[in-house]
Amino acid sequence: MAFPGTGKVWMNGSLVDWADAKIHIASHVVHYGSAVFEGARCYSTPRGSACFRLDAHLRRLYDSAKIYRMEPQIGFDDLQEAVLDTIRVNAFKACYIRPIIYRGYHTLGVNPFPCPVDAAILLWDWGAYLGQDALTNGVDVCVSSWSRSAPNTFPTLAKTSANYANSSLIKMEAIVEGYSEGIALDTFGYLSEGSGQNLFVVRDNTLYTPPLTASILPGITRNSVIALARDLGYKVREEMLPRELLYIADEAFFAGTAVEITPIRSVDKITIGNGRRGPMTEAVQQAFFDVINGEVHDRHRWLTYVYPGEPRQPAAVGRETAAAAKK
């Protein structure tokens, strides 16, 4: 869905019209991909608009910036408040949230240090990433010919624009071949993740997901799925997984801010399970939507309410950083 082209964008402390949210073509980020960003969501709940794990997302943003030696001019708490203010100014009840920290305009060259570190926050209305039908009926995917980056090449714990060139190759290949998504392997041939989603596989009532060492992004939704699955009494294992486990899986699903929790019904034209959303996927998906829609008690304190007068709960940060080596 195309952008409406209206509303306000937060840029370096100022709210500007969408049409005026511009950077110079000679900005460092345009030529060298020198940006880190986040994707979070605000949901409309019976108690008001609430951001899901906003502080966990912003913590990962600042972690990503630190890895790339970028020092934002705005502090963590001020950026979080700027996100909430931008939602209020745009009068969104629900929206997708895209904060970005990037190297701006000064000079060009591989050395990024002379360029300023700028920040912006965009919001837009973004529905089900792979379609509403996919949440129930699942999607057909392929194993991509493009691998995730090898260790000590690109830092996969950072959510950086440069890494998403690889994601675009995976996504385009999948679409051209008639699939909704692609799954990447790491450079050792083990399962990694989708183009922009973490991967989960169910086999014999156990939920498996690749570890951080499989060149995955430490997903906030991934961390949430692990917590919710354990709340439901399921066994969860993070370990290196062979490609062929996909083909003999009882269930499989993607998890991420954009896709939320989307079942996978086939991989490389091999049907997964019975070809529809499986019982564990449905249970975890229901638990997830109950939380984000405010239908149950927020026991993990994941929701941050937007508007004055609504309950404001600090979201638990969780284990999504490199220092904690979780998430």
Contacts 24+ apart (CB under 8 A), 11-20: 11/118, 11/119, 11/120, 11/121, 12/73, 12/118, 12/119, 12/120, 13/74, 13/82, 15/86, 15/89
Q: Is the pTM value of this prediction over 0.85?
A: yes
- Whether 217 and 198 have beta carbons less than 8 Å apart is answered as yes
Write down the pLDDT at residue 308: 63
Cβ neighbours of residue 86 closer than 8 Å, sequence gap 6 or more? 8, 9, 10, 15, 121, 123
Q: pLDDT of the chain along its 327 residues, tens only?
A: 688 899 999 999 999 999 999 999 999 999 999 999 999 999 999 999 999 999 999 999 999 999 999 999 999 999 999 999 999 999 999 999 999 999 999 999 999 999 999 999 999 998 777 777 889 999 999 999 999 999 999 999 999 999 999 999 999 999 999 999 999 999 999 999 999 999 999 999 999 999 999 999 999 999 999 999 999 999 999 999 999 999 999 999 999 999 999 999 999 999 999 999 999 999 999 999 999 999 999 999 999 999 866 655 443 333 333 333 333
Phi-psi sector, 218: left (phi>0), alpha (psi -120 to 50), beta: beta
Residue 26 maps to a domain: yes
Residue 122 maps to a domain: yes
Same domain, 270 and 146: yes
Domain containing residue 68: 8-126+297-305
Write down the pLDDT at residue 130: 77
Same domain, 150 and 183: yes
Same domain, 218 and 77: no
Residue 319 maps to a domain: no
Cβ neighbours of residue 228 closer than 8 Å, sequence gap 6 or more? 284, 287, 288, 291
Same domain, 99 and 23: yes
Residue 149 maps to a domain: yes
The string of pLDDT tens digits covering residues 191-202 is 999 999 999 999
Same domain, 92 and 175: no
- Helix-strand-coil split of the chain, %, nearest 5: 25, 25, 45
Write down the pLDDT at residue 287: 98
How many structural domains compose the chain?
A: 2
Interatomic CA distance for residues 12 and 308, integer angstroms: 24
Same domain, 67 and 172: no
Same domain, 171 and 285: yes
Same domain, 151 and 122: no
Q: Which of the residues 8, 159, 171, 327 is marked catalytic? A: 159
Interatomic CA distance for residues 184 and 214, integer angstroms: 10
What CATH number is attached to the domain comprising 94? Answer: 3.30.470.10
159 is catalytic: yes
What CATH number is attached to the domain comprising 193? Answer: 3.20.10.10
Angle at CA of residue 186, ends 181 and 188, nearest 5°: 140
Same domain, 278 and 147: yes
Residue 143 maps to a domain: yes
Determine the 3-state secondary structure of 248 from DSSP. Answer: coil
Residue 317 maps to a domain: no
Same domain, 103 and 245: no
**Closest C-alpha to 191, from 220, 213, 223:** 213
Same domain, 273 and 163: yes
